[in-house]
Structure 1
Amino acid sequence: MAAASSARGGPAGVHSIPSKATFLRPAFGDSEMTICPACGSVSTAKLFEVTADEASRHFINPRQDPDRSRKLTSHLSDLWGSNTCDIRKCADCGFGFADPFVAGGFEFYNLAWAYPSYPTMKWEYARTIEELAGLNTGGKTALEVGSGFGYFLDRINNKFFHTSDISAVDYNETARSVLASKGFKTFASDFREDTFDSMKEAFDFIFMFQVFEHMDQVDEVFARLKYLLKAQGSAFIAVPNENRTYYMESHGSLVDMPPNHIGRWTKEAFDAICRRHGLQLSKCEREPFNLAKFLKQDIVHSFLRKGQKPGSVSEFVRALPRSKAQRMAQGLTALAISPSRLPAWAYAIRNASTMGGSALWAKIDKVSSPALRIHRQAKQ
């Protein structure tokens, strides 16, 4: 899946949306009962809603590509069955989710991203490699879901796993060609589909980095993890850090926009759904806060957010023809906006220890029933 220009978390205490936000409409305390997809609780509340037009502007500048923008707006209305989508949060496990809880499909991604890109290195790659270094991986099998161009697999290939023991899933045809050229077995289908039915307990390790937040039918996802993992196998997962997401949305930065990201995972949400499927959440960690990385991301994300406002300077600059001059204009505009970000930066620095970095990382194990019972008793 293409990397998303999405929201990346915020401090645990920041769950209200200030009135100065450009289009987030707070809606706390509604009486509608919507079941949490992660823990099954009915104690969920609506945080805000977005319209199809607002969501479309998040992905496409209508000045730059009006036809594609109109098509995406229409597609989102069809996907949601209405002109709006709610963002809700569970009071019990903290899981945030889009309502309707429906993922974007091929048509959405084809419209939303004309130029998909994949980062070459992430904190979660390094953290997973650190974990693998302490495990016995000799002769073991691995599957990565959402491999992109294989930048993570490049780092573990012939170090922890033989090339012939690595499988990769990605929808993008170009990405699959690159993966195949590196010798990996490649698949284009969702790992929940029948293509993988013959692979019961086929993998010792499964990797899913920045994938879970894109997926609906999450019970099927976790059932599939258990089905595909060998006994004592492990899944390594990374999702956006929900604390950073709430910071961004409440401080004038990007919204974690559906239907690209439809789930906002927490440690408690992972634990609840793992318990339901007989899996064990062994570790769950937030990426540490890095000031330099945070400032760079915040400058870019706040510029992109302002660029979604019709008639703004940022929108005009983003609509210029793609060129070196346009990149320079975007950079200068983003820097010009930066002084207005000082209060938000001060808040983030004060709350750095609770806010953390961009990612939430988890290790999930398939363990025997007696071991799982002991683990659950220890947590109670």
Structure 2
Amino acid sequence: METPLFTRTFWLLCTGTVLFMASFGMLLPELPGYLAQMGAHHLIGWIVALFTIGAFFSRFVSGRMADRAGRKPVMLFGTAVTALAGFAYIGAARMDNVAMAVTGFLVVRLLHGLSTGFRPTGTSALLTDIVPAQRRGEALGYLGVAGNAGMALGPALGSWLAVEFGYDAMFLASSALGVAAYGMTALLPESLPHPRKVQWGDLNVFEGGSLERAAWPSSVFLLPVALAFGAFLTVTPDLVEGLGFKYKGSFNTVVVAASIVARLIAGKASDRHGRVELMMVGAVLLAVGMTLFSNATSVPMLLTAGVVYGLSIGINMPAIFAWTVDLAPEGKAATSLSTMLMALEVGIGGGAYVSGTWYATNPEVLLSLYGGCAFFGLAGFAFLFWWRRVHKNGGFAR
């Protein structure tokens, strides 16, 4: 008899994911304005870049730890970080002078990145442990819907709180959601057979076993997707504000809603028709969406671009996660996922830093940045085309 998909553990995992993603996602649209208010607009590229640096380096530990000590400890640690981060932002703002406050903010931003370096690795690994392999893409698609729901609700709520009640209210709400996510995570069972306690050796990145070679194809494709996403996160709040949006986070809701619609279909479709075929469609939509953004001089064009780009995210992400686990050796699912997610951090951080720095020095390049991101979609499509051709001709699968 086939293992059911919609179990109590599945719903706990998805609910905790909604809360976790809302907790850190609600800050993203407002942090550029927050930093500008502190007189440091020239540093906006570091908002996302530092977050991803923290996530990147934590992945050298999180995947290996999840495969040895269990999925749940990794998830709990990442969730605890996001629960504390909101309080830390408030504390940093109360330092003695502006320079120290800005430095404190950047340090907190770096440490906040540990949250996504740990929790998503454990979450995805736990889910693949408890669902049938033939429904892996479908399950990851539904998990992505949960994450997207958090990313839709969080930014809209965060922008409303920041505008109506101030930034401190937004940070407090972020921590409150993090605490709630921690409570949901604590109720989850451990899915790894025979887990052991976390050991100090798990933190030694020089011990080996932190990376998994089998994840290289999904990592290569994810890199251009993430570069575009990093640029999108960094400069889009200003584009949205310039076109008259009072609550900048409300535009994120449009993008995420489109992504949710795609995820409801794409995950199951990748189980039936293949991961690579679905990702090729996603790569084309990424290029089209970014091209539309580069011409977004009106609200209707902006909304159209947001929908197309959201569809590309919803198609690509569940297929990338499922492809990574498909290629993973037995017992290395979490390590493979953490390796793949390193490409996500490199791409987001690099795209955020380059676009943010370039835009800060020359605001006139705003729309041109999206044109550059369209190229990343074409690059991803070219890689998948090559992979599919080699694989179908009897070439290597890994």
TM-score, normalisation: structure 2: 0.26
Higher helix share: 2
Which structure would you say has the larger RCO, counting Cα contacts within 8 Å and 6 or more residues apart? Answer: 2
Higher strand share: 1
